[in-house]
Amino acid sequence: MPATIELSGLEVHLGGRKILHGLNATLDSRAIGLLGPNGAGKSTLILTLLGFHRPSGGTARVLGLDIQAQSGSLRPLVGYMPENDAFIARMSGIRFVRYFGEISGLPAAVALERAHQTFVWIGLGEARYRALGTYSQGMKQLAKLAQAIVHGPRLLILDEPTNGLDPAGRKRLVGLIREIRDTTDAHLLISSHLLHDVEETCDEVLILREGRVAGTCNLAEERRANRQILELELAGAGRGPAGSEPPSADAEFRATLETLGCACAASGRGRWKVTLPAGLGVREVYRAASELGVLIERLSHRRDSLEDIFMNAMDQAR
Amino acid sequence: MAVYKRRYDPYRGRLTERWRRWSVLTRFALRELFASRFFLGFFLACWIPVLAFSGYVFVANSEVVRSLLSLASRTLQLRVEASFFIRATQIQGFFAFLLATWAGPALVAGDLTNGALPLFLSRPFRRGEYVFGKFAVLGILLSSITWIPALGLFFLEAGLSPEPWLGAHRWLLAPIVWSSLVWVVLLGMVALAASAWVRWRIVAMGAIFGLFLIPAGLGAVLNATLGTKWGQLLDLTYLFHEVVNAGFRESASFGPAVPLWAAWGTLALVSAAALELVLKRLRAFDVVRG
């Protein structure tokens, strides 16, 4: 089974500037999130995978097919929902989706039937005969999704799918994406800067920063591992400002926790995030603190959120 | 698969052949054009001269009708020769110009205005197929009022003529077809280029008129001031007429002639430049340099 997306030293130059700097990653989950701040290169990567930009170095494979040499075989397998407005204002919704269904290769009768089915499924059944130019922003997003899935692609690429949607619209669209993920064998590549959307819909994330891979994370494994994460706030005299050297007892405490297999990260002014290994309980943490005379002022449990993973990746890439 | 089933289903059925998917664009665009009653009326009006030419052919070949209309065959020579087809080609060429100016500007602009182009190009569909599909709309429309009815007139004359007309005039078939095709290609490409670069329909229509009228006027000024004949190269309508006349082995009846190769070359150059302009505009995404 080939990886969904495989990047090998992928480089892209646009307008005389290097936008993607030798990306390397192998992503084989069903639903992949592409994260990064604005200008990180998410859309450029998507457009390169679609064959709109020619790599200046390296290669990429999607569903096992080379994006350059085998683009003819790849394109029929892909459905694409662009970030920006993409519609034909004078066409009715149903005609628009049928049109792109036929261009994708569906026979006319099948395209019409699937266009109706898709429109009903995305919840725009009542508006399908209205011209797209009269649709609200949320309806246009849904119509873009409809044209991307009408031909039943094996890989669905969604670029900022929840852009410009109100909370209800966002919830609806996220629900549809999850339904595609859960009820079909289609793969998803979702680019977003909204971490919550990616967390809800994806199994794996690729984090980009300034055109470089800042990190990858298999969210599904993270969820399965269900690792315990503690947030600690230590009390004690002589604690300096954020960024200064910690007092020696604190440093000793950290070293002890690391000996026990914990991963510790300071998040400023005596606040630590500690990831416990399997089999280690909170009691051992208290015991170590007690033995070293470190006073724990506050301790709370939490699961590592995508936001933590993202912020960590951003910090490490800096 | 049924519409009432509210779920998303993958499609694993048969796909249409790739080579003919451009025809989807043509079919949808033609249906959209003919949905307008005004356009349908205009298209039918383009056939009025063809009906008049058909009547001419009928009268020219019917002694009975001529006598009923009191047309003395001695004083009025009704002949269906090369000059008849030149006139038919030129008049229908004018209507083709009006039709292209009406139908062309919306063809590409509608897809570009709201960024729909990436939706085409992310599919197994090339820019060339897109241009061909859109050009075919104009190709079909303009052909249906130019060389196709002209061929009909040719065979009507061949059928009605009491003399062995067909054998002596078989050579007319080639110029009937290609002289109109030259015009169809030129008009189609210019209309697509205007549609690709000008968002507003009325401005695009003006641009097409301008391309045919303004350089022609400029050419006339050049001819008058410089005492040359090369200004005619800026008059696309004149060049078309010259090519038609040459094809039908008739000499031009007006204006100073430019060499035939120059007329052909200019028409080909303008068509190629218009195609290049269309292709230049058809990009999924613009790259900002800097």
Distance from CA of B140 to the nearest CA of A (A): 20
The Cα B259–Cα B231 span in angstroms is 12
Parallel, antiparallel or unpaired: strands A31-35 and A78-81: unpaired
Q: What pLDDT shows up at residue B265? A: 95
Cα of B113 to nearest chain A Cα, Å? 8
| CA A13 to chain CA centroid, nearest Å | 24
Q: Write out residues 171-210 of A within 8 Å (CB-CB) of B.
A: 176, 179-180, 183-186
Residue A215: per-residue pLDDT:
86
CB contact set of B89 (below 8 Å; sequence gap of 6+): B146, B147, B150, B176, B179, B180, B244
Q: pLDDT tens, B116-156?
A: 999 999 999 999 999 999 999 999 999 999 999 999 999 99
Q: Are the beta carbons of A31 and A161 closer than 8 angstroms?
A: no
Cα separation of A156 and A264, whole Å?
A: 38
3-state secondary structure of B281: helix
Indicate the pLDDT class of residue B6, thresholds 50, 70 and 90.
Answer: low
**Using CA atoms, how far apart are residues A156 and A144, in angstroms rounded to an integer?**
12
Q: Which of B4, B8, B28 sits opposite A183 (nearest CB)?
A: B8
Q: What is the mean pLDDT of residues B67-91?
A: 79
Which H helix or E strand runs over B241? helix B236-247
- By CA distance, what is B116's nearest residue in A? A86
Reported in sequence order, the residue ranges of chain A that DSSP labels E, i.e. its strands, are 5-14, 17-27, 31-35, 57-62, 65-66, 78-81, 155-159, 187-192, 204-209, 212-218, 228-235, 263-266, 271-276, 295-302
Least confident among A115-129, A213-227, B5-19, B230-244: A213-227
Distance between CA atoms of residues B49 and B57, nearest Å: 12
- Within 8 A by CB and 6+ apart from B284, the residues are A47, A50, A52, B117, B118, B121, B122
pLDDT band at residue B74, thresholds of 50, 70 and 90? low
Instruction: Identify the pLDDT of residue A237.
Output: 41
Cβ-Cβ contacts under 8 Å between A and B: the total is 124
Q: Which residues of B touch A72 (CB under 8 A)?
A: 124
Is A118 in CB contact (< 8 Å) with chain B?
yes
Q: Closest Cα of chain B to A136: distance in Å? A: 14
In whole angstroms, how far apart are CA B37 and each of B31, B32, B47? 12, 11, 16
Residue B60's pLDDT is 87
B20 touches chain A (CB under 8 A): no
Q: Using CA atoms, how far apart are residues B181 and B194, in angstroms rounded to an integer?
A: 20
pLDDT number for residue B258: 86
The pLDDT assigned to A227 comes to 63
**Residue A238 confidence (pLDDT):** 43
Predicted TM-score of the model (pTM): 0.83
Contacts of A14 in chain B (CB under 8 A): 287
For every one of its 318 residues, what pLDDT tens digit does chain A have, with 9 covering 90 and above? Answer: 789 999 999 999 998 899 999 999 999 999 999 998 888 899 999 999 999 999 999 999 999 999 999 998 999 999 999 998 999 999 999 999 999 999 999 999 999 999 999 999 998 888 999 999 999 999 999 999 999 999 999 999 999 999 888 888 899 999 999 999 998 889 999 998 888 889 889 999 999 999 999 888 888 777 666 567 888 888 764 454 545 555 677 888 888 988 888 888 877 777 888 888 877 888 888 888 888 888 888 888 766 667 777 777 777 666
Look at residues A49, A3, A53 and name the one whose alpha carbon lies nearest to residue A26: A3
| Residue A226: per-residue pLDDT | 56
